[in-house]
Amino acid sequence: MPRRPSPDRLERDAKAADLYRAGLTYRQIAPQLGFRSPQSVGDAIRRDALQSVRNRIGDPESLQIILDRLQDYRRIAYRVAAGRHYATTVTGKIVTGPDGTPLLDPTPNLAAVDRLVRIDVEEIKLRGLYAPAQARIEVVTQDMIESEIRRLEAELDGRDPDHSGTP
């Protein structure tokens, strides 16, 4: 069973989400709230969104708030995915090709596409759109086992399984 999050973590996650909604970036929020990385801030914001839903199961207004947040995240990720990003050196200088034109870096685009997929998965979960897992259960009784054994024995002997006499 998963461990319950501490009240301090829940509060910090909620503060991160509030700051993000106020327009701060993950990079700005991380040092302000003591997160190790901008990615940790994103994780906290997602945890806060899921916690909000868990706390208000069945509350359509709360679900809509979370779906609206996901749509906001989707817009941001889409802008990154659709943008042009240039390769840079460690010092921040744009890398150019032999003809002097800047080289494109697809890494941010691909990361944004990956984020868009994750956002879609979260929305699908929240809306309950995953098909329930299906299982087929077959009950095998002792009589069925004995009957199959008789049939197989008869098949090996070359006789009719419904008659215990000669072939």
d(CA 129, CA 131): 6
d(CA 110, CA 150): 62
Contact criterion met (CB below 8 Å) for 66 and 47: no
Asked if residue 149 belongs to a domain, the reply is yes
Asked if residue 65 belongs to a domain, the reply is no
127/140 same-domain check = no
Going by the DSSP 8-state scheme, the letter that residue 163 receives in this structure is -
User: CA gyration radius for the chain?
Assistant: 29
What are the Cα distances from residue 120, in Å, to 10, 21, 73, 74, 156? 24, 19, 10, 8, 57
Quote the number of domains for the chain. Answer: 3
d(CA 108, CA 113): 9
94: which strand partners?
88
Asked if residue 42 belongs to a domain, the reply is yes
Strands (E), the chain: none
Choose the final residue of a domain: 55, 84, 101: 55
In this structure, what token pair is assigned to residue 74?
């989707």
96/119 same-domain check = yes
pLDDT tens-digit profile, the chain (167 residues): 456 778 888 889 889 989 998 899 999 999 999 999 999 999 998 888 777 656 655 567 777 888 888 999 999 999 999 999 999 999 999 999 999 999 999 999 999 999 999 999 988 888 878 777 777 888 889 999 999 999 999 889 886 656 555 55
Domain extent for 103:
75-132
In this structure, what token pair is assigned to residue 43?
């994780």
Asked if residue 67 belongs to a domain, the reply is no
Nearest to 52 by CA among 62, 44, 60: 62
29/3 same-domain check = yes
